[in-house]
Amino acid sequence: MIFRRRQPASLSARLRELVWPRKGFTRGLRYLALRVLRLSSSPHSIAVGVAAGAASSATPFVGLHILIAVAAAYLFSGNMIAAGIATALANPLTIPVILATSYEIGTSILGAGGQAPLGGEDMLHKLTHLQLSELWGPVLKPLLVGSLPLVVGSAVVFYIGAYAAARLFQSRRVSRLADRLKESQA
């Protein structure tokens, strides 16, 4: 095999890499960021795609984030690949935080309304028996209403950041290519 180790890793080394990867946790994030920045689109198109992906990641529609992001990027003439990659913001570590935050924002916007909060067992029972109409008021409505400020805020923040990063990356790339061209002609 091409990528096989010469010396197989010991059990302790494999366990350590499960807890702390050899190349670090940020390596994957850096790869995704560079993958987005290297797209051959305008900075605006890349930024709209990233904003669409970030906005769809802030919604409670788990499992539909990529479809929502690609549709939004298509509607706003953004880069659909950047939108798909940016949905990685919603991952198993961040989804509980996003859902809890949107629920808290939604309940503060809507007010308590006299409804007692449901417990975990009650929610699970209603979900397994598809009693969604009973979940609408205490759970689903606050989630949807609370996700709207998160969607708008994340879209604005990620558009600004992605636009600046893509513009800077592309200008540096052009200057490097111009320098290489001058060196080869000299």
> pLDDT of 120-154, one tens digit each?
666 666 667 777 777 777 778 888 999 999 999 99
Take residue 105 and report the two structure tokens written for it: 């924002």
pLDDT at 79 over 90: yes
Q: How far are the Cα atoms of 60, 73, 120 from residue 63, in angstroms, in the given order?
A: 9, 17, 21
Please state, rounded to an integer, the average pLDDT across all residues of the chain.
86
Top-confidence residue, 30 or 3:
30
pLDDT confidence band for 13 (50 / 70 / 90): confident
- Interatomic CA distance for residues 134 and 157, integer angstroms: 35
> Using the 8-state DSSP alphabet, how is residue 137 labeled?
I
With a cut of 70, say whether residue 115 has pLDDT above it.
no
| pLDDT at position 54 over 90 | yes
Please answer whether residues 109 and 146 qualify as being in contact, where contact means their C-beta atoms are separated by less than 8 angstroms. Answer: yes
Share of the chain residues as helix, strand and coil, in percent rounded to the nearest 5: 75, 0, 25
Whose tokens are 């690949």? That residue is 81
pLDDT reported for residue 159: 96
Please tell me the pTM assigned to this model. 0.78
Q: What is the C-alpha separation between 85 and 90, in angstroms, rounded?
A: 11
